Amino acid sequence: MYLIMKLKKIFVINILVALLYSCSDQIINTAVEKEEFIQINKPVLDSDSSIINSDKPICGTKDVTVWLFDHYEPKSGKIFGIWPHQSWKNDLNKLTELRTKWGFNYIVLQYGDGVSTKSNYINSGFTMNKIMVTIYDFEHANHQWVIDTYAGAYAFYAEEPNTTNEWRNYQLSFIGMPEYIEIHSPNSLFITGSYKPTDCFDGYSSVTDKTLFTGYCRYYEPLPGIWTSYDCVTDDQRWNWTNFKNRYPSKSKSNWIGTHEDQAEYEQLLGHALNLGLNEIWLYSLGNSSWAEVSSYASHAFDAGWLRGFERKFVYEYHCYYDDPCDCDPTLSDGWYVYKIWQFNDIREIFPQPH
């Protein structure tokens, strides 16, 4: 009776394994060391050392099931944008990964980068209505040409428009931009950004759809219309974000976070943006080419509530490298090496862990 029960158990296990491997997408023949698991920053949620394929010998092999990070997606209604580093703009793999792996659904295009960069964005999956086009000044950029060339963009963005003589000399053109956009790119927004009210906001906020804070110093108004800065050492932007939200409640709908300054404050800033009721945030990575900062920022955005996270199922097939394969104990790590990695279609959502 004992022998019959044992044979039945082995038969059931073989059937389960056959079903398991029938749904595999592909076999990856690259061995993965333990250190590579650590870099993924996701725990192994499930392991099973008892699965034995009917094609394998009784000794010398074991399969371990793991779930590893796969990708992020923006939460519904969230605009999760990025101003990519210049070195990434011709790299279709990186551009695609920004969208499909790290959760960015909007991207910035500098008008001077030209139509070729626009094509790269489109080819990597960013549609025109997910691209924000920058216009730096009207002396070097004919704003009508920019709007005509990039018609259908999500927005046209004027950076710190009242901080240079070029902008001041073209105030009438600046004020006329919303009307031109309405006619030639009617679904696009007109967005401005600056770091104190005298630079654009007080004078121009009535003609912009959104305003973004762009600095780090705190500003106060000792006399009406006179603004001065202080505390330029503390990088935390939350005070300024709150100040601008209070001053421009209907226009302060988004802000910048910089990979060059805010690395230690990603989660605090992302959380504060949600506290202010913002549904749009932009990562400024033009000043930092570190690709690792992208994954770090996305991880904090996941924890803060901007992104959804997903992981994928893998099966690691281990073989014993001892002369006698039966010398490898399936319950121990000694003597085993990764022979193949099986990747599956199985994807499941993960959720932030309490701190």
User: Measuring CA to CA, which residue among 166, 145, 158, 214 is closest to residue 189?
Assistant: 158
Ranking 118-132, 281-295, 307-321 by mean pLDDT, the lowest is 281-295
Percent of the chain with pLDDT over 70: 73
- Same structural domain for residues 179 and 262? yes
- Same structural domain for residues 190 and 265? yes
Q: 266 in a domain, yes or no?
A: yes
Q: 337 in a domain, yes or no?
A: yes
- Same structural domain for residues 126 and 266? yes
CATH of residue 293: 3.20.20.60
203 pLDDT more than 80: no
Q: What is the DSSP letter of 327?
A: G
Mean pLDDT score across all residues of the chain: 80
Phi and psi torsions of 11, nearest 5°: -60, -45
Between 14 and 96, the higher pLDDT residue: 96
- Same structural domain for residues 242 and 99? yes
Q: 355 in a domain, yes or no?
A: no
- Same structural domain for residues 110 and 191? yes
pLDDT band of residue 7 (cuts 50, 70, 90) is very low
| pLDDT value for 225 | 65
pTM, to two decimals: 0.80
- Same structural domain for residues 342 and 211? no
- Same structural domain for residues 48 and 191? no
Q: 314 in a domain, yes or no?
A: yes
What is the C-alpha to C-alpha distance for residues 121 and 113, in angstroms, rounded to an integer? 11
Structure tokens at 89: 């703009």
pLDDT band of residue 190 (cuts 50, 70, 90) is very high
Q: 10 in a domain, yes or no?
A: yes
Structure tokens at 33: 């060391």
Percent of the chain with pLDDT over 90: 54
Q: 241 in a domain, yes or no?
A: yes
CB under 8 Å to 92, separation ≥6 — which residues?
A: 120, 123, 124
Between 137 and 111, the higher pLDDT residue: 111
- Same structural domain for residues 316 and 211? no
- Same structural domain for residues 199 and 277? yes
What is the C-alpha to C-alpha distance for residues 195 and 160, in angstroms, rounded to an integer? 7
Domain boundary, last residue among 280, 302, 324: 302
48-83 confidence digits (pLDDT tens): 434 435 566 679 999 999 999 999 999 999 999 999
Ranking 32-41, 127-136, 324-333 by mean pLDDT, the lowest is 32-41
Between 30 and 227, the higher pLDDT residue: 227
Q: 60 in a domain, yes or no?
A: yes
Give residue 251's domain range. 76-302
146-156 confidence digits (pLDDT tens): 899 999 999 99
294 pLDDT more than 80: yes
- Same structural domain for residues 29 and 168? no
| pLDDT value for 69 | 98
Q: How far is CA 85 from the centre of its chain?
A: 14
- Same structural domain for residues 221 and 344? no
- Same structural domain for residues 142 and 273? yes
| Domain count of the fold of the chain | 2
